[in-house]
Amino acid sequence: MSLTATIPQGRDRKEAEIYAQLDLGRIPRHVALIMDGNGRWAKKRHLPRVAGHRAGVAAVRSTVETAARIGVPALTLYAFSAENWKRRPRTETGFLMELLRRYLKQELPRLKENNIRLEYIGRKQELPQEVQERMGWARDATAENTGMVLTLALNYGARTELVDAFNDIVRAAAGNGGIAHLKIDEELVGRHLYTRNLPDPDLVIRTSGEMRLSNFLLWQLAYAEIYVTETLWPDFRGRHLLEAISEYQKRERRYGGLLEPEANNN
């Protein structure tokens, strides 16, 4: 695959330079991304917070397209947490919902062009009806795409996901002979998570320099590599994603075990 085919004309050439150094055989199967720093980006520029959210759309577009081009099978973006829904002013949450509706309409042609399939996780049923309808429309329009799966985490919280999973397990058992012989193990829990059709993330990226997971995919990120950048989300671009993947490829993943000793060691 040539760089000219992979990096469109006019894109930052730094992206091409980093791409050239990647091992395409070790691209993460699933990248999770905590998009943070919109408010600080706006504050630094003496702008209202919503200006940061609006500017973040360009970061989403660049990141999604770059991930699809280099062959990342799955990308999950933490777009809107359950805590955001409860604790942010209504004016801000209302703006975010309208921004989401516009994003889905405007970006659909790009998603199709890049063969991206759109999915969602979170308590979608608690979002405004018109937002749910736009979400369903966009998902259905990309359902036949066979490339990267882009998952938007909306009204999402890892603890509420686990609560929902355990409730699903109990309901299923109650409808299938009762819970007396129910055996809960990791495989069973995994089958009831929102992400049951996705591999666990290999890499989680957080922008804005914060060192926390913020209730994001707590079960699934048990063995993910963590990469934190000081870059605020509205300034994040495809090359920053490639930098994170480059760093990921330098690490040795042990999953709680030890590295195999070299053959010549006694």
Is 264 one of the annotated active-site residues of the chain? no
Helices 13-20/238-249 angle, 10° precision: 20
**Choice among 36, 38, 145, 155 that is catalytic:** 36
What's at 258, amino acid-wise?
A: L
DSSP three-state, residue 227: strand
Backbone angles phi, psi at 86, to 5 degrees: -90, -30
Backbone angles phi, psi at 258, to 5 degrees: -115, 155
**Choice among 12, 84, 215, 235 that is catalytic:** 84
Q: How many CB atoms lie within 10 A of CB 156?
A: 27
Is 84 one of the annotated active-site residues of the chain? yes
d(CA 125, CA 135): 11
Nearest Cα neighbor of 55 from 65, 70, 40, 72 is: 40
Catalytic site residues? Answer: 36, 84
